[in-house]
Amino acid sequence: MASLPGSSLSVDTFDRLKPLENLVRFIPTGSKKDGKKPLIREWPKHPGFTVQELQKQFPQAMSVGVVTQPLLCFDFDGETATQHAVLNDRDPDYVNTWRINRTTDPHRYKLLFLPSKEQLAQLPNGQITHSFNTRPASSVRHPYEKGAVVSKGEAEEIFCHPGRQVIVAGAHPSSGGHYFWPVGFGPEALSAPPEEWWEHVLELSRDYPRPAAGANKTVSASSFASRDWQRIEHCPICGRGPNDNPLCQLHRDGETLRCFLGQTFSPPTNLEPGELVPGTDWAFSRVSSSGWGEFLTFVKDNPNRYQQIKAMLRGYANGN
């Protein structure tokens, strides 16, 4: 492929980006001095450059970035990030949209979607930015070597936000590699997020309308607003009180409770589904995870379930 003089970007790359230039906001990124950074300061406010403008005005750019709004990005950083998504019924290998891989690490890649106007309207301010750590950074010391090997943390990041951008083509200087689009997954494939993917985004935005904090951090009460879930001051399962950074939540149906697995406070983890937490009428249902970390979901065990159903049937019979 022919590269432009002094650029690591090919003519073919620009030709394939061109049909999107009025739909998304391209910006010049990456220079010899500054690995990946945007080449203009005011990029979050910039309406975006056409392909011709990028070529003429920024011949030194080593890559092209795109502002992630109206685009929605799923950024997979590491093998555990992909595993996390697959377990969540979102297999990245079975979704058809624009995919940005890089030559130097097959486990770090991005999927870009273009949400519909109706979808964007479902997000608070049309935005979301969320990060879920799937593996903490660690330093491993090998027994026969001096020094420690630091391995980067892994995470799935999801964002649709005017203050963020991702590189879609060109060089990845820190690894010496470059970005590429797998065959069939170029910009031509850009699509709206499929249902399972969008449902996941909506769920994150409903429960955690602000940038997620780590599960181990203290979270202020006000950042926990949600229509369906209310934070509970005294958790009947783990015993967290109002001064213990209460994270556990009760659904507005009053019958479903999420109890967070923490260092100091934690629900019992040895229960079979359906088994009651000793001394309570809460039955263990399942393990789930969110931007805060893992939590167990419990449902109210109702000894009068039979009578409830009878009453409900009576209601139907009476036309209520």
Question: Which residues would be at the binding site for Zn ion (CB under 5 A)?
Answer: 235, 237-238, 248, 259
Nearest to Zn ion of 131, 245 (CB atom): 245
Minimum CB distance to Zn ion, residue 224 (Å): 14
In 3D space, the residue among 48, 97, 46, 41 whose CA is nearest the CA of residue 73 turns out to be 97
In 3D space, the residue among 200, 201, 256 whose CA is nearest the CA of residue 228 turns out to be 256
Largest separation between any pair of C-alpha atoms in the chain? 81
* Identity of residue 178: H
Minimum CB distance to Zn ion, residue 221 (Å): 15
Nearest to Zn ion of 106, 268 (CB atom): 268
Distance, CA of 58 to CA of 308 (rounded, Å)? 70
Minimum CB distance to Zn ion, residue 70 (Å): 38
Strand order in the sheet with 177-180: 26-29, 63-67, 165-172, 177-180, 98-102, 108-113, 72-77, 154-160, 128-135
Task: Enter the tokens of residue 230.
Answer: 């209310």
Minimum CB distance to Zn ion, residue 299 (Å): 14
Nearest to Zn ion of 67, 237 (CB atom): 237
Residue identified by tokens 């990946």 is 36
CB atoms within 10 A of CB 29: 28
Minimum CB distance to Zn ion, residue 168 (Å): 43
Nearest to Zn ion of 14, 229 (CB atom): 229
317 φ/ψ angles, rounded to the nearest 5 degrees: -60, -35
Minimum CB distance to Zn ion, residue 8 (Å): 52
Radius of gyration for the chain, computed over Cα atoms and rounded to the nearest angstrom:
24
Task: Enter the tokens of residue 132.
Answer: 């879920």
Nearest to Zn ion of 67, 235 (CB atom): 235
Nearest to Zn ion of 76, 282 (CB atom): 282
